[in-house]
Structure 1
């Protein structure tokens, strides 16, 4: 089963990712929310926290895909304390394969990653 620290470490493998604790003064506190952001635009792609002894992660998601995931996995619900259209909460209860969770983290990162400026054609 994935741990809070394990999810944070995986998120840190993405280019420009960093760990932030904007809601908590003590990052080591049991209820502290880890916010995983991109260094360039400061946008968050994952919120990792523990409630009631269960580690959860909020991930940005394409709205159509978000609904599909919610209908497929009972551990995937509209995101806690987030926009319910664009964010899902995934509970680490062992019912979702780890590979799926890792892929969803990557998709969330891709949705917030800074876009490269389009090159202008010099005619």
Structure 2
């Protein structure tokens, strides 16, 4: 599951991986800003933290026990999802898309255009 989620996140235009918090937590960024944090527990459970509109975040938490307030993040704007199979991959991909779009749209116009104008990872 970790590899699938990482691969999908990295398929987003301008997405790069980083390890600013150490080797246990993979951070996906666009334009230098985080849009996903992925980790795996010792038991092999995959967790992914994603930025989310506050109203949508609250609804997801109410509807799905595997969606929790962001772990070590702003709990209003971030959710941590335990990828335990209770949500289909398509739902997780939709959440990644939403997080990516929120972060991309928060970039300055110049930074956003720099990301969107990249072709095959080159400016």
Give the alignment's TM-score, normalised by structure 2: 0.82
Aligned with 2:28 (options 14, 36, 57): 36
In the TM superposition, what is the alpha-carbon distance from 1:23 to its structure 2 partner?
A: 1.6
State the structure with more CA Rg: 1
Name stretches of at least 5 consecutive residues in structure 2 with no aligned partner: 111-123
The 3-state SS of whatever aligns with 1:37 is strand
The 4+ residue runs of structure 1 with deviation greater than 6 A are none
Aligned with 1:116 (options 106, 109, 113): 109
Number of the residue aligned with 2:16: 18
Give the alignment's TM-score, normalised by structure 1: 0.82
The 3-state SS of whatever aligns with 2:20 is coil
Measure, in 1, the Cα distance between the counterparts of 2:62 and 2:108. Answer: 31
* CA RMSD of superposed structures (Å): 1.2
In terms of fraction of residues, the more helix-rich structure is: 2
Name stretches of at least 5 consecutive residues in structure 1 with no aligned partner: 118-123
After superposition, give the CA deviation of every residue in 1:18-59 in whole Å (9 maximum; x if it has no partner): 0101122xx4xxxx1000001x3x100000001242101000
Aligned with 1:106 (options 92, 97, 100): 97
Q: What is the aligned length?
A: 107
Measure, in 2, the Cα distance between the counterparts of 1:9 and 1:21. Answer: 16
